[in-house]
Copies of this chain bind each other. A is one copy, B any other.
Amino acid sequence: MAKRKGKTVILDTKPSIIGNAAAVGKKESEGPLGKEFDKVYEDTTLGEECWEKAESGLLKTAVCTAIEKAGKALYEIDVAYSGDLLNQCIGSTFGLRELKLPFCGLYGACSTMALSLIQASLAIESGGFDCTLAATSSHFCSAEKQFRYPLEYGGQRPPTAQWTVTGSGAVVLERKKGDYPYIDSIHIGTIQDLGVTDANNMGAAMAPAARSTISDFLRDTSTGPSDYDLILTGDLGAVGSELLKELLMKEDGIDISAVHKDCGLLIYDREAQDVHSGGSGCGCSASVLCSYILNGMRKGEYGNILFIATGALMSPVSSREGESIPGIAHLVNIRRERSK
């Protein structure tokens, strides 16, 4: 049975990450992590007639690859948790439809990889499920079409804007022990809204949520940044990352700068790839975690990491109606005994 410290839940079963995979588009494959991804689609339509179907295809590839790498058959997956940015989460629904898995839909915007890992872990911890799946996706073109402008319009982007990652990540968790990275503890975030209204500056909207979750977690567990090999945020980008570090220093006296990285800054070469403040979208943290980071943990490069994925829980309608952007950040502590 899991134990609770403050708002942090320490898992007893320590679900093992027995498979992980990431599928991405061309631009992501040209970035610094290009060689880490399991599958690259040079043609980001995936041969489909519309971007939404392409996104579903990406998700399906990541999910099926993760299951295969875990050495599992589809029928051995007891439940799949997934969600995405598209209205009514159709990326996940249509991506998973043919796989016939018991399915729980989530909505956490760009926090979805952490949210799905949390729910997939709690399902195992409950005793009712042995093998669970966590996944999410995003696609630059489906996101632009839905949230911003038609691609053909060629709208200008301010320097604080981020670039939605065309990518999907999936993880298979299992109860069994073994030499795998595992989920040690989880922390479900609380909605934070400091009144940011600029939808071209999501990093600033999400940083307060990341700050709150990280500082609560460190206090709950009586640990500090130096206890972790990596504090990995989802997609705060350049602007949001700086703000997070400032907020943690100023409000909590916590300095994470020695161990902090952000998936939105890892996935692209910001200078060469013209992505302004960095990558974003559910698929950003998902494809980085499910390739570079988990591969690195398997190789012994990291033994104890905090993965904090942040989400901006707004919609174009809420923004038009004058609402500010509520942020949320969910945290997962992933560990593996160091091999050195």
Contacts and interface: CB of A to CB of B under 8 A. Distances in A.
Interface of A: 1-4, 7, 9-12, 49-50, 52-53, 78-79, 83, 85-90, 93-94, 96-97, 100-109, 115, 118-119, 122-123, 125-130, 146, 186, 188-191, 193, 313-318, 321, 323, 326, 328, 330
A100 to B, nearest CB: 5
* Copies per assembly: 2
Nearest to A10: B128
Contacts of A9: 126, 128-129
Given A104-B115, A105-B115, A93 B3 contact: no
Contact of A103 (B88, B101, B190): B190
Contacts of A123: 122
Contact of A104 (B1, B103, B128, B188): B188
Decide if the interface of chain A is mainly helix, strand, loop or mixed: mixed
Contacts of A12: 127
A122 B118 contact: no
A107 B88 contact: yes
Contacts of A2: 126-128
9 contacts: A4-B130, A12-B127, A49-B321, A88-B314, A90-B313, A97-B191, A103-B189, A104-B118, A119-B119
Nearest to A7: B102
A90 B128 contact: no
A90 B314 contact: yes
B4 A128 contact: yes
A332 to B, nearest CB: 13
B108 A104 contact: yes
A278 to B, nearest CB: 21
Contact of A315 (B90, B189, B314, B317): B90
B188 A52 contact: no
A148 to B, nearest CB: 14
Given A49-B321, A107-B83, A323-B94, A89 B126 contact: no
Given A103-B189, A104-B108, A104-B188, 14 more contacts: A1-B1, A1-B126, A7-B102, A9-B128, A52-B317, A88-B107, A90-B313, A90-B315, A90-B318, A93-B313, A93-B326, A103-B190, A104-B119, A125-B128
Residue among A3, A314, A321 facing the most chain B CB atoms (10 A cut-off): A321
A326 B193 contact: no
Contact of A89 (B49, B107, B186): B107
Contacts of A317: 52, 86-87, 90, 146
A300 to B, nearest CB: 29
B188 A79 contact: yes
Nearest to A122: B126
A125 B190 CA distance: 21
A87 B100 CA distance: 25
B102 A189 contact: yes
B90 A87 contact: no
